Amino acid sequence: MLRFTPILLAIAYAIVMYRISVWRTHRELDAKSTELADPALKRMTDRLAAALEIDRVPVYIYEIDPVNGLAAADGRIFITRGFYRKFLNGEVSAEEMASVIAHELGHVALGHARRRMIDFSGQNALRAALMMLLNRFIPFIGAWIANMLTHLLASRLSRGDEYEADEYAAALLTKAGIGIGPQKSLFHKLENLTQQRAGVVPAWLMSHPKTDERIAALEALEQRWGTDG
């Protein structure tokens, strides 16, 4: 039994850190968000809701500046204040905002939201636990391996999720009569829009694959579905 104690400790530590991190993120979202009340965007989300055969899509404004969208495991969709401002000043269209909301709905529907809670502190917890373990068996390079494994796991998880959420959004936007066009045009704008986020946003908000690869994936879908927009 004594032999396994360090392993059990490491696992317990990781679970506790993860729980605290999820709780913190939810508390932060509750404290810093209000329900979106924008007639033009409401018309868009109503079209998405109709296509999904649900009453409404719960969209909230999250009061931070970096441009981003995110989904909570309970189904709430958050658009950052910075992103909404881009819509208000005409840099992003209502249809493009709808494509972000559809993408986040994809994360909820496909069950990604909970996994995405493995945010920066969640990753740190995992890294610390792995280090505790690996250092016992392989001193010195244990820490390095723990770092690499954590990074690999986190980016693997998020990359696959992004493509799946994009595909879900493409199908939903097509069904809602909005089309894939706004999704692609937003990706073209995304690079400029997100420049200011470096260093301010938790890591789990920034885990997006390369824009051109996401556009290529969408174009492959269009070919497969035989649609043009």
- Taking the complex as a whole, the smallest distance from the CB of residue 99 to Zn ion amounts, in Å, to 11
Q: Which is nearer to Zn ion, 86 or 208 (CB)?
A: 208
Residue 100 or residue 176: which is nearer to Zn ion going by CB?
100
The H or E element containing residue 24 is: helix 5-31
Task: Kindly determine how many residues on this chain lie close enough to bind Zn ion according to the rule CB under 5 A.
Answer: 2
**Closer to Zn ion at the Cβ: 87 or 187?**
187
Both tokens assigned to 180: 């894939």
Secondary structure percentages of the chain, helix, strand, coil, to 5: 70, 5, 25
The nearest distance, CB 13 to Zn ion, in angstroms, is 29
* Least Cβ distance, residue 104 to Zn ion (angstroms): 7
Which residues inside 161-220 make contact with Zn ion, applying CB under 5 A?
162, 165
- Of 132 and 190, nearer to Zn ion (C-beta) is 190
Q: How far is the CB of 27 from Zn ion (least distance, A)?
A: 22
Window 142 to 171, contacts with Zn ion (CB under 5 A)? 162, 165
How near is the Cβ of 165 to Zn ion at its closest, in Å?
Answer: 5
Q: How far is the CB of 202 from Zn ion (least distance, A)?
A: 14
Give the containing element (helix H, strand E) for 184: helix 181-193
What's the Cα-to-Cα distance from 77 to each of 57, 62, 81, 103, 168, rounded to whole Å?
8, 9, 13, 10, 15
Which one, 17 or 101, has the nearer CB to Zn ion?
101
Burial-class residue 146 by CB neighbours within 10 Å (0-12, 13-18, 19+).
buried
Q: How far is CA 63 from CA 36, 82, 120, in A?
A: 11, 8, 19
Residues near 43 by beta carbon (within 8 Å), at least 6 away in sequence: 94
The amino acid present at 51, given as its one-letter code, is A
Looking at the Cβ atoms of 165 and 172, the one nearer to Zn ion is: 165
* Site of interaction with Zn ion (CB under 5 A): 162, 165
